């Protein structure tokens, strides 16, 4: 098992102990058996998180059919997390007055990035573009910001979802927030990739993808979360690009870091 975990860690940069597949399968089974699972937000979140980490482990182990099976389970768990009936029943732990419903409050103030990125990834791997766009629609301008060291900060994902769903002003605001840093930051490279897909600018897309590859090469051997981000963020954009029929060549520095099937 240790060799298997180390292989996973070297492929996508995840700490080996965090991808012990037997642990996650056992823990997920226990969570599904909790009597109050349908009225507990943290259980819903944990089920979604365990599902997508098993999905990743199956991908790295090159168990394609198992990976697709867990992609389906991840899709289901994330659908329940974002759109399930529990959001109407559970009163969120926020100090607010007003006429907002439980669902509105949960939608605005619950964490989202750790589920939203893998939800898009699972939908892309399955070619379920209706689900892909439905997940994008969850993130509307009233939702609070969220961040996690495993992913690009929420700026890119706010830009991604807002621009997907026609929230033009909010998308510009998210882009402005991203632009505070260097023009070569990881998030801006993702924005360039996404904009190139929408503009069908094949050469710009390839240049941006090559830049991501160079950025990754500079961080090899450093304690950095970039490999983890590449395994998810860039994979989602490339799956979306493939769906939009954009042609590209994956740089050698990235080819073993992406969660994409070769054929």
Please check whether residue 261 lies inside any domain of the structure.
no
pLDDT for res 2: 41
Residue 249: inside a domain: no
Find the angle CA(29)-CA(9)-CA(247) to the nearest 5 degrees: 100
Give the list of residues 6+ apart from residue 165 with CB closer than 8 angstroms, or none. 133, 136, 137, 139, 140
Residue count of the chain, please give it: 263
Instruction: In whole angstroms, give the CA distance from residue 205 to residue 197.
Output: 7
**In this predicted structure, what is the pLDDT of residue 108?**
77
Of 12-21, 141-150, 156-165, least confident by mean pLDDT is 12-21
Domain count, the chain: 1
Is 139 contained in some domain? yes
Position 171 pLDDT exceeds 60 = yes
Q: Which domain holds residue 12?
A: 2-243
The answer to whether residue 174 sits within a structural domain is yes
pLDDT for position 150:
64
């Amino acid at each position: 098992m240790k060799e298997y975990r180390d292989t996973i860690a070297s492929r996508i940069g995840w700490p080996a102990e965090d991808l012990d597949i037997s642990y996650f399968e056992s823990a997920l089974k226990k969570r599904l058996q909790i009597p109050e699972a349908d009225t507990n937000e943290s259980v819903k979140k944990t089920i979604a998180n365990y599902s997508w980490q098993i999905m990743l482990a199956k991908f790295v182990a090159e168990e394609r059919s198992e990976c697709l099976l867990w992609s389906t389970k991840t899709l289901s768990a994330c659908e329940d997390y974002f759109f399930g009936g529990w959001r109407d029943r559970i009163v969120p732990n926020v100090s607010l007055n007003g006429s907002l419903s439980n669902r509105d409050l949960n939608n605005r103030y619950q964490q989202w990035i750790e589920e939203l990125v893998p939800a898009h990834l699972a939908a892309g791997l399955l070619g379920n573009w209706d689900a892909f766009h439905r997940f994008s629609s969850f993130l509307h301008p009233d939702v609070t910001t969220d961040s996690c060291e495993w992913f690009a900060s929420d700026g890119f994902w706010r830009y991604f979802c807002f621009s997907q769903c026609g929230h033009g002003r909010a998308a510009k605001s998210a882009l402005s927030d991203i632009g505070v840093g260097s023009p070569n930051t990881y998030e801006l490279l993702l924005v360039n990739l996404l904009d190139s897909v929408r503009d069908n600018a094949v050469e710009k897309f390839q240049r941006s993808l090559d830049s991501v590859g160079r950025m990754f090469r500079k961080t090899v051997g450093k304690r950095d979360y970039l490999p983890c981000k590449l395994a998810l963020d860039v994979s989602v954009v490339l799956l979306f690009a493939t769906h939009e029929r954009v042609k590209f060549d994956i740089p050698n520095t990235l080819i073993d870091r992406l969660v994409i099937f070769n054929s």
